[in-house]
Amino acid sequence: MPVRDRTRNACWAALLALLLALFTAPQNASAASLTQVTGFGSNPGSLSMYSYVPDNLPTGAPLVVALHGCTQSASDYYSHSGWAKFADAYGFALVLPQTTSANNANSCFNWYQSGDYTRGQGEALSIKQMVDYARSQYGSDPSRVYITGLSAGGAMTSVMLADYPDVFAGGSIDSGIPMGCATDLSSGLTCEYNPVSKTPQQWGDAARSASGGWTGPWPRVAVWQGTGDSTVNPANATESRDQWTNLHGISQTPSSTTTLPGGTTQAVYNGANGAPAVETFTISGMAHGLAVSPGSGADQCGTTGTYYLNYICSSYYTAKFWGLDGTSGGGTGSLPAPAGLKVTATTDTSASLSWTAVSGAASYNIYRGGTKTGSASTPSYTDTGLASGTAYSYTVAAVDASGRAGTVSAAVSATTTGFQPQCFTDNNYQQVAAGRAHQTGGITYANGSNQNMGLYNTFVTHTLKETAAGTFVIADSGCAA
């Protein structure tokens, strides 16, 4: 064959191979990307809107709004936070508002300026307009809109949850500040660096006042905070917890606590229906930033960078708390709550439950302290590996054939038999964070005994002995467990 013919044939073969590759490429390859959106409203706060909408997202999917921190951008938060991974995995639209140095010298959201933190004004209204646009354009479910943010974005999340509890079903405040702490830059700096102590009622009243007369139900709120944060005083997390537990009308004492990866302590505060209304995630030693956990695991996400710190994937646990994963206590299915949940037996290390079967249920999810602990194909379950002499709160949800969990049941409490006293030595701040003590008016008191432990700070240390489940006494002179 002449060289010219061989060359011509080779070129045609290469072209055909390229066309074949194009037409046989996987049809599920994602074309979704972070995209700027214009014309979403009057935008009185002069913010920019960016969105990420997974391919083939159905109408009626949830919506998550994510607010970056100071010196960051929407693109930066999108790339590092891990939220895009879960938008694809769980099926929801993602909106990322962005401010600039023209609005704030450090590109912070203006959470402390009345013109921007008041309902119907400034930046708060701009973010609300982005939600309205997303609901209209992406068909987002108006009952499943959530908001999260870091640092100034976390403080702005507090603002949006208080201003628009009629818009948001849940929120997550990461290294942020409670709503109503500041009214200008000077008081904002005070809130940031020095703990501003108010009673839960005062914090709750600040949010109620901002809401425009809202009477409930209030959003479910997670609070994330590192104990080594020198930019936002860790006491702000406790004040945020006080604000949202007060709004839900529940105790500031956790229903349960759990140890998670990355030195993280999760405290759960159940609402009247037994489902978690507020959760706090306290990360031992973490400095100022958003907790991420790079990797391919289901509970891993994000990449490290400035203010993105390798401890735990906060986005994963927040999404589970909101019920976006379809298996946790948030519920996305239509099946009713199981009735008749009761404790049938307990031992030192187990609790047995039963409930009335739900028509149409393929299985049941069982939640201990608001976190899924198991599943069952019949209306009974035994939870094992428990601590003796300890009270646990349980709820159950029916799961339909498509795997969607319905409404959670009313809660029941099961207390295992026996008791093993334990001793805990730590500063007053950490004793409160761990749920062994509480603070009122800047003074710390041991839970159960109500003994005065002194000032609520990191400089006063005590040993507490748990003499009965949930009852602690000061044992500085010696503690034999």
Active-site positions read: 151
Say which residues have a Cβ less than 8 Å from residue 12's Cβ, sequence separation at least 6.
none
Cβ contact 351:417 at 8 Å: no
Cβ contact 50:95 at 8 Å: yes
Beta bridge partners of 364: 376, 398
Among 61, 392, 355, smallest CA distance to 256 is for 392
* Structure-token pair, residue 231: 């930019």
The secondary element (H helix, E strand) that includes residue 4 is: helix 3-23
The DSSP code for 358 is -
Cβ contact 279:321 at 8 Å: yes
d(CA 395, CA 413): 9
Query: Quick one: CA torsion of 305, 307, 310, 311, rounded to 10 degrees?
Result: -170
Among 128, 185, 125, 126, smallest CA distance to 152 is for 185
Beta strand 412-415 pairing with 391-399: antiparallel
Cβ contact 365:333 at 8 Å: no
d(CA 314, CA 153): 15
d(CA 53, CA 56): 9
* Structure-token pair, residue 428: 């007053």
Residue identified by tokens 């695991």 is: 297
Beta bridge partners of 97: 49
* Structure-token pair, residue 384: 């094992």
CA angle (158 as vertex; 154, 164 as ends), nearest 5: 130
Q: DSSP for 103-134? A: T-TT----TT-HHHHSTTSHHHHHHHHHHHHH
d(CA 238, CA 82): 26
d(CA 244, CA 232): 19
* Structure-token pair, residue 329: 């206590």
d(CA 381, CA 346): 12
The DSSP code for 421 is -
